[in-house]
Amino acid sequence: MSLFGLGSRNQKTFRPKKSAPTGSKGAQLQKHIDATLGSGNLREAVKLPPGEDINEWLAVNTVDFFNQVNIVFGTLTEFCTPSNCPTMTAGPKYEYRWADGVTIKKPIEVSAPKYVEYLMDWIESQLDDETIFPQRLGAPFPPNFRDVVKTIFKRLFRVYAHIYHSHFQKIVSLKEEAHLNTCFKHFVLFTWEFRLIEKAELAPLEDLVDSIIQL
């Protein structure tokens, strides 16, 4: 993860951290992310660096946000259980069902931890597919690359929505709310900058999202 460590707490990750694509400009762009985040100005940190390729920027940030969500969710794995969270919800109005269009074509109801597990497996398979996220310098991105990225971010948002609605008090008791809020603010500003999530999808956290965007 870029900047936001968990202090002296054990860094539990839901799964091993992924690195920026090697052999591409990923490592160089990752350094740019780290440097700009270090300035503390998240609104500037999300902007496309001058002269850089938009798809390269989206790719390296997709890996970064995937890692961030893994770390945030990793602090909750002992509390977000099938018995505590039998469905993947974001408050009483929103329930998410899982389908990946390949192995599970018809959306199924699963527990929140199972949904997150399916989601992270699916995202990892996208990141590891070189026809979608090319590793070699100069290799072309596919025509549907932005659509894939939008789907990844839309689904990562659901993890944040579930955490805020179902586990925020636990986050507070773990003294992790500042970390969660900073990660989410970074996520929202990035998705807003590049219009990656439709406004309707943000409804479960609409007030929080609006407060971030309007700051």
Q: Looking at the domain assignment, is residue 195 inside a domain?
A: yes
Helix 54-74, helix 26-38: angle, nearest 10: 60
What's residue 5's pLDDT? 34
List, as one string, the DSSP characters of 38-52.
HTT-HHHHTSPPTT-
What's the total number of domains in the chain? 1
CA–CA dist 139, 16 (Å, integer): 26
Q: Looking at the domain assignment, is residue 147 inside a domain?
A: yes
Encode the chain (215 residues) as per-residue pLDDT tens digits: 333 333 333 344 445 555 655 555 556 656 655 555 555 688 988 999 999 899 999 999 999 999 999 999 999 999 999 999 999 999 999 999 999 988 999 999 999 999 999 999 999 999 999 999 998 877 899 999 999 999 999 999 999 999 999 999 999 999 999 999 999 999 999 999 999 999 999 999 999 999 999 86
What's residue 37's pLDDT? 54
List, as one string, the DSSP characters of 82-114.
TTT-SSEESSSS-EE-B--SSS--S-B---HHH
Q: Looking at the domain assignment, is residue 98 inside a domain?
A: no
Q: Looking at the domain assignment, is residue 139 inside a domain?
A: yes
Q: Looking at the domain assignment, is residue 7 inside a domain?
A: no
Integer CA distances (angstroms), 3 to 6, 26, 64, 85, 192, in order: 10, 16, 10, 30, 20
Q: Looking at the domain assignment, is residue 85 inside a domain?
A: no
Q: Looking at the domain assignment, is residue 146 inside a domain?
A: yes
The three-class DSSP label of residue 171 is helix
CATH number for the domain including 167?
Answer: 1.20.140.30
Q: Give the other-Cβ count within 10 Å of 28's Cβ.
A: 13
What's residue 139's pLDDT? 87
H or E element at residue 193: helix 177-193
What's residue 1's pLDDT? 31
Q: Looking at the domain assignment, is residue 100 inside a domain?
A: no
Q: Whole domain around residue 190: which residue ranges?
A: 24-79+131-214
